[in-house]
Amino acid sequence: MELGNDTRVSEFLLWGFSVEPELQAFLFGLFLSMYLVTVSGNLLIILATITDSHLHTPMYFFLSNLSFIDICLSSTTVPKMLVSIHTQRRFITYAGCLMQMYFFLLCGGLDDFLLAVMAYDRFVAICHPLHYTVIMNPRLCILLVLVCWTVSALHSLLHTLMVLPLSYCTHVEIPHFFCDLDQMVQLSCSDTFVNEVVMYFATGILVFGPFTGIIYSYSKIFSSVRVISSIQGMYKAFSTCASHLSVVLLFYCTLIGVYLSSAAFPDGHSSATASVMYTVVTPMLNPFIYSLRNKEMKGAVKRFFRMNS
């Protein structure tokens, strides 16, 4: 690459985790294990949902979509990170960086929207149980998922197209293990005022819009549960949304933690470490949360293994 400013930068350098060389093998084994658990766990939920007729309900339809997105989210960043750790070649092409950024934004947005859709599903199930099958019909469920995909795809496409005109100084070093939108904008040599305004505005809508929907749904759920006289009835109502609520708290707590750490330590390396929580850890834990706290899912998984044994 030539020295100076160039809009046609061919490669970026992903620093990833700056640790001692003797720890590289440990990191490789750790992240490889976590990735394999993520893929196998979420794939098991998808297969159990498809093969078990007891799980052919809106709740598990949305859950199988969430599991698929979690696989895609981890696959967007972890394989490249593993290759970089193993080969010690930390470069990524400009086109590869844009593709990674696009799919990461797409999967992250889908995670956010699907959690809101699942909260709405629990709201209808608990607050309007007699009309649940009428309201949450297959047509509406498919439409909700399609809307999630469309909005997320347009959001990620918008940011990708806005990054394309930016120029970069040569030898661009990204202090992260993947091509993060915020890093791509900050490292540009161009005027990025418009990019930053659009980024914060769109991200605010994408994050706080679904989060507001989740808060509203659960406020209605808690109001409905409070009027239930029997303890058994209250427990049954809460148990239907306990797994989803656990995933919501995990997702948003890790997301908030990443941005707080970025604000407190803007060097990029702290942000990279914190980002592992929602790019690697959260997708890995979701299958355990839904399987361990859900009797129907545990039963379906057992039947799936018996069927294939």
Q: Where residue 163 sits, what CATH number does that domain have?
A: 1.20.1070.10
User: Above pLDDT 90, what percent of the chain?
Assistant: 43
Q: Report the alpha-carbon distance of residue 156 to residue 151 in Å, rounded.
A: 9
Antiparallel, parallel or unpaired: β 168-169 and 5-6: antiparallel
Place 187 in a pLDDT band, splitting at 50, 70 and 90. Answer: confident
Residue 279: name the closest of 130, 141, 81, 89 by CA.
81
Q: What's the pLDDT at 88? A: 81
Evaluate if residue 229 carries a pLDDT over 80. Answer: no
A 10 A CB-CB count for 3 gives 8
Confidence label for 261 from pLDDT (cuts 50, 70 and 90): low
Q: At what angle do helices 295-307 and 24-51 cross, to 10 degrees?
A: 90
- The model's confidence at residue 2, banded by pLDDT at 50, 70 and 90, is very low
**pLDDT at residue 5 greater than cutoff 50:** no
pLDDT, residue 189, reads: 87
CA 279 to CA 282: how far, in whole Å? Answer: 7
Please tell me which residue, 61 or 202, carries the higher pLDDT value. 61
- Cα 131 versus chain centre, distance: 31
- pLDDT band at 266, cuts 50/70/90? low
**Domain range for residue 272?**
5-307
Mean pLDDT across 191-199: 90
- Do the Cβ atoms of 289 and 247 come closer than 8 Å? yes
pLDDT score at 225? 80
Number of domains making up the chain: 1
Interval 81-116: pLDDT, tens: 999 888 888 889 999 999 999 999 999 999 999 999
Residue 12, φ and ψ in degrees, nearest 5: -115, 155
pLDDT for position 35: 96
Q: What is the pTM of this model?
A: 0.90
Tell me what the mean pLDDT of segment 285-303 comes to: 78
* Confidence class for position 203, pLDDT limits 50, 70, 90: confident
pLDDT band at 265 (very low <50, low <70, confident <90, very high): low
**pLDDT score of 289 more than 90:** no
Whether residue 202 contacts residue 155, with contact meaning beta carbons closer than 8 Å, is answered with yes
**Section 243-257 average pLDDT:** 82
> According to the model, what pLDDT value does residue 1 have?
39
- Most confident range, picked from 32-41, 49-58, 289-298: 32-41
Q: Average pLDDT in the 184-192 region? A: 88
Lowest mean pLDDT, pick from 43-47, 197-201, 276-280: 276-280
- Full DSSP string of 175-218: SSSS--HHHHHHTBSS--HHHHHHHHHHHHHHHHHHHHHHHHHH
Residues 6+ apart with CB under 8 A from 150: none
Look at the alpha carbons of 206, 63, 284, 292 in this order and tell me if their dihedral is positive or negative.
positive
pLDDT of 18 over the 80 cut: no
At residue 305 the predicted structure's pLDDT band, cuts being 50, 70 and 90, is confident
